[in-house]
Amino acid sequence: MMSKTAVAALLGLFGTAFAQTYTNCNPTEKTCPPDKGLSSRTYSVDFTKGASSDWNATSCSDRIAYSSAGAAFTVKEHGDSPTIESKFYIFFGSISVIMKAAPGTGIVSSAVLESDDLDEVDWEWIGGSANEVQTNYFGKGNTTVYNRGKTIPLDSSTQATARNYTIDWTPKAITWYVDGSAVRTLAYADALGGQNYPQTPMTIRLGIWAGGDSSEPKGTIEWAGGVTDYGAGPFTMYVERVDITNYNPGSSYTYSGTSGDWTSIKIDGSASDSSSSSSSASVSATSTTSTQATKSSSMNNKDLSTPKVGVSTGSTSGTSGNSSSTDSSATSSTKGSSPSTTIHVTNAAPVSMSPINAGLWVIGVLLASMSYL
């Protein structure tokens, strides 16, 4: 017999899944159009110079503003969740986000890599916890267990000044870096033998939302640090720039079959060794041999070094990254004290189901269960 508390908990998971995860076409379920690729090996966008045509506002565009401080994402009232998403996908690479997280109880700043088949790699910052950052990952939307998230304690505030948050993503491992120092590494084999390892082309999503909104499930509000008081706002996250190295440049990426395995991805078009830089004024491409995205001269006084990583030759084989440790529920590569495990409910759909079908399945389970209450 299922208790009312258990039913409420399942409803909480269901609501959060629909709020945070989506895909327009899941290639593990049907044939989908190719994903537009980043054809240059390196790419930089400086939001202190304005908006970029390489990014779309996918939610609350009126809450996104640009100034010398960068892209400002602001939550003022119930329903605000300003978000932008890259128009291009990358296929393994290094992604550095230079940003300042938002303060505020229940406010969640985020930088997310997301694929069409719901592979996901996350950074998240809880507004009421200024000296820590959360990391997480998902494979094919599978959340059968909730031990993937880890909270990383930091020695200084994520809200006072802009800091460098980098993800180095290869077929062998994912490493999260803060200001050039590795804080967590996930090996392919440690993600359920690779089944839950994020490995398909992804876009980059940047945004902010109120996990503490009173309409959110109880579990989400608790995870976000409490109920959000909009009267204490507005709450703003600032992103100064994004620097990317795409280890497998191409004009587009196509899924061959429905396995969702990285070896099934076809890289379309010729790879480019150029470096692309985007701002509100222009987009230019110049030749470069650097394996790291170029830093703005305005960042020279900050500790924003990007870690050196392995770069592929443009094919999906031979890509590797530096890894000093692996990640599992019992190990951690965090410097200093070990991070706590965080239950972050973002994707509640079982592997074999789309979010919509999973939602209907959950509702059926709940209705059946409630007949025993």
Task: Catalogue the active-site residues.
Answer: 120, 124
Structure tokens at 172: 């062998």
Question: CA-CA distance, 133 to 137, in Å (whole number)?
Answer: 14
Q: What is the spatial distance between Cα 80 and Cα 91, in angstroms, rounded to a whole number?
A: 31
3-state SS, residue 13: helix
C-alpha span between 367 and 196 (Å, rounded): 30
What are the backbone dihedrals phi and psi of residue 117, each rounded to the nearest 5 degrees, phi first? -100, 20
* Tokens read off for 245: 């190295």
Query: What stretch of H or E contains 136?
Result: strand 132-138
Q: Which two tokens stand for residue 100?
A: 């300042």
Question: What six digits make up the tokens of 226?
Answer: 């409490």
What DSSP assignment string belongs to 19-62?
Answer: HH---S--TTTS--PPEEB--SSEEEEEGGG---TTEEEEE-GG
C-beta separation of 243 from 128 below 8 A: no
Exposure string of 146-180, with b = 16+ CB inside 10 Å and e = fewer, is: eebbbbbbbeeebbeebbbbbbbbbbbbbbbbbbe
User: What strands, in cross-sheet order, belong to the sheet with 265-268?
Assistant: 35-36, 252-255, 265-268
Distance CA 306, CA 96 (A): 7
Residue 78's CB is within 10 A of a number of other CB atoms, namely: 11
d(CA 2, CA 90): 43
